[in-house]
A and B are shown apart, each in its own frame.
Chain A
Amino acid sequence: MSSLIQLNHISKRYEIDNNLIFTALKDINITLNKGEFASLVGPSGSGKSTLMHIIGLLDKQSEGDVIIDGRNINQMTDNSLSTLRNEFVGFVFQQFNLITKLTVLENVLLPTVYARKKIAYNVQKRGFEILKRFGISDKANSYPNKISGGQQQRVAIARSLIMEPKLILADEPTGNLDTKSGEEIMKLLKQLNKEEDITVLIVTHEEDIAAQTKRKIHIVDGELKT
């Protein structure tokens, strides 16, 4: 298996105020291989979200190197990082983060609006197919606030898939859902990993969610626990 993401000696520090420095991450070394189904587990405040944001190129580390598909992101411009977020990563958030004024289908298609590469497939058709596969194609023209939480999270996953990413980053994807919807979302993520060989990294504080993944990465107080 070849490595998809390599984190070498990552640390993250915030300056609070009066020169008070808070260290969120300390010397993190992780390699995530293609096709892995992993979880990043830790209590709240452990730094797991910060780490996910760094992996997802939304935030920058204070020290260390992030190597994505063999490329060191330290040398990349803001535009290249945007393109990488667009093509390489699919985000699934706890809060779903759908845009309320766009319909379900428009939300799914939103990443294609910012695509710089030529998309070979018909995005409208593809978006609709994904919604159909997730059992929510009848909601394609509904607005996000008119559908249930479980359905909204499925729309978010559909949106994360439209650009055919190599990695899905799911931040507490079941955190805002009831048990049944949560189980369905987990089933969907497992299925995507198994059938389409997409690398999935789930960030969670729940041990039973982490238990469903093949690899658990524990993080406490900004440090990896082995």
Chain B
Amino acid sequence: MNFFAFILKSAFFDFSRNKGRTFLTSLGILIGVLSVVLLTAFGLGLRAYIEKQFENLGSNLVRVVPGQVLSGGGFSNASSAFMSIKFEEDDVRNLERIRELKMTVPVYSRTVTATSLNEKKSATLYASSEGIFIALNLENEYGKFFTASDVEKRSKVVVIGPKLADNLFLSRRKAIGESIKIEGQKYTVIGVVKSIGGGFGGPDFDTFVYMPYRTAYTINTDKTFMAIILQAKTEEDIPTIKRKVEQILLKSYEKEDFSIIEQEELLSAINSIFSIINTVLVAIAAISLLVGGIGIMNIMYVTVTERIREIGIRRALGARRSDILWQFLTQSVILSLIGGAAGLLLSAIIVLFISRYFPAYIDLQSVILALGVSSGIGIIFGVFPAKKAADLSPIEAIRYE
């Protein structure tokens, strides 16, 4: 048997003789690793979900919104958005003249109550042009979308989300041709879009009501818009478009009154916020790892005290200080790794179960991190007890009763 085999044997002998103690000590690390890995898994899942939502949107989009939305990589003070400007139809007309644009889509949005003959539901009104269906990458399940002429003629038509159709009319197919009452006005449902999901605290896109923006002037009496979505003909045109949009809008507004955001910028801004939130959460969870580490240190001190005589015997037989140090350090690392591996396994099971309802996954980085951190904790919190063991005087240790 070599040195390591002897060390392992004595470590596992200790664990098997003190099963309860070993279990409880490892449990501390298990809980720590579990919380860190689970939070990371949720963070990763949520980010992937958001990115997927963005992918659902059309390509080469640029958004013009009021206020300074993006500054320094994140969202700036949100209160500025309340104080800020709203766009008018003239702005839309002016922007439409930019040659590089494929389309210009104004958006007015607010929460409304939608009523059918028997049901009354809360919905999000999205008043826009026919281009909104392309911008949001929507497909119709039944019926049709409204057209440019519907917008011009102020046709009293709407296209609704599938969930809203289910809730108001029992069936999506039957919804076509039915009347829906919004803010006292009657509209005819001409289309139902395919489900694109949503929820999880964000907007539920399946309960949206899409209406020609000019039709909506009875509701949007100010005739203003919260955003203008622009689609470039090609990706290369985007910088030119941004420049031209700025030139046009500066004629009517101050520079800080509006922002021109690319899809990518928005995504990276959201991602950066998510990383911050996730880092803070994981850091809080890491406190439990620290507590687990203190548990290990505590038990290692007890173990050293229990084995003082054995340490003395080993020293008398020729063990160096470093041999004793390694023996106890190995034991604390094993103890910590047992907890870490068990925590990882348990998180994998939980994630496997939860991923049916919530997008969460564990990546290789989390696995390496969990095992690395738990062995690190074993070393950091094991080194003091191990040092104590190594520094015992051989004669005092061997005489210890």
A residues within 8 Å of B by Cβ? Answer: 53, 56, 58-59, 78-79, 82-83, 85-87, 91, 93, 97-99, 101-102, 106, 109-111, 113-115, 159, 163
A85 B318 Cβ-Cβ under 8 A: yes
Q: What are 26 contact pairs spanning A and B, CB under 8 A?
A: A58-B315, A58-B316, A58-B395, A58-B398, A59-B395, A78-B321, A79-B320, A82-B315, A85-B316, A85-B317, A91-B316, A99-B10, A99-B310, A99-B314, A101-B9, A101-B10, A101-B13, A106-B1, A106-B6, A110-B6, A110-B314, A111-B318, A113-B6, A114-B314, A114-B317, A114-B320
Q: Mark B1-40, 1 if CB is under 8 A from A, else 0.
A: 1110010011001100100000000000000000000000
Given contact pairs A82-B319, A99-B10, a sample of 18 additional A-B residue pairs in the complex whose CB atoms are under 8 Å apart:
A53-B395, A58-B395, A82-B315, A83-B318, A85-B317, A91-B316, A93-B398, A97-B313, A101-B13, A102-B6, A109-B1, A110-B314, A113-B2, A113-B3, A114-B3, A114-B318, A159-B317, A163-B318
CB distance from A104 to the nearest CB of B (A): 14
B318 A58 Cβ-Cβ under 8 A: no
Q: Mark B256-267, 1 if CB is under 8 A from A, else 0.
A: 000000000000
The docked-state distance in angstroms from the alpha carbon of A113 to that of B1 is: 8
Chain A residues, CB < 8 A from B322: 79
Complex partner residue of B318 from A59, A99, A102, A115, CB under 8 angstroms: A115
Among residues 382 to 398 in chain B, which have CB atoms less than 8 Å away from a CB atom of chain A? 393-395, 398
Q: Which residue of B lies closest to A163 (CB)?
A: B318
Chain B residues, CB < 8 A from A114: 3, 314, 317-320, 323
B residues within 8 Å of A by Cβ? Answer: 1-3, 6, 9-10, 13-14, 17, 309-310, 313-323, 393-395, 398
CB distance from B324 to the nearest CB of A (A): 10
B318 A82 Cβ-Cβ under 8 A: yes
CB distance from B10 to the nearest CB of A (A): 6
The docked-state distance in angstroms from the alpha carbon of A98 to that of B398 is: 11
CB distance from A157 to the nearest CB of B (A): 13
CB distance from A88 to the nearest CB of B (A): 9
Complex partner residue of B398 from A87, A97, A102, A163, CB under 8 angstroms: A97
B1 A82 Cβ-Cβ under 8 A: no
Q: Which residue of A lies closest to B16 (CB)?
A: A101
Chain A residues, CB < 8 A from B318: 82-83, 85-87, 111, 114-115, 163
The docked-state distance in angstroms from the alpha carbon of A82 to that of B394 is: 10
Chain A residues, CB < 8 A from B393: 59
CB distance from B264 to the nearest CB of A (A): 61
The docked-state distance in angstroms from the alpha carbon of A120 to that of B6 is: 21
Complex partner residue of B320 from A58, A78, A93, CB under 8 angstroms: A78
The docked-state distance in angstroms from the alpha carbon of A203 to that of B88 is: 106
Chain B residues, CB < 8 A from A86: 317-318
Chain B residues, CB < 8 A from A159: 317
Q: Which residue of B lies closest to A97 (CB)?
A: B313
B1 A58 Cβ-Cβ under 8 A: no
Chain B residues, CB < 8 A from A99: 10, 310, 313-314
The docked-state distance in angstroms from the alpha carbon of A94 to that of B203 is: 81
Chain B residues, CB < 8 A from A83: 318, 320
Top 10 nearest A-B pairs by Cβ distance?
Answer: A86-B318, A114-B318, A101-B13, A59-B395, A82-B320, A58-B395, A111-B317, A58-B394, A114-B319, A85-B318
Q: Which residue of A lies closest to B2 (CB)?
A: A113
Decide yes or no: A56 and B316 within 8 Å by CB, A101-B10, A102-B9 being known contacts: yes
The docked-state distance in angstroms from the alpha carbon of A85 to that of B3 is: 17
The docked-state distance in angstroms from the alpha carbon of A86 to that of B315 is: 9
Q: Which residue of A lies closest to B310 (CB)?
A: A99
Q: Which residue of B lies closest to A105 (CB)?
A: B1
Chain B residues, CB < 8 A from A93: 398
- In this complex, which of B13, B310, B395 has the most chain A Cβ atoms within 10 angstroms of its Cβ? B395
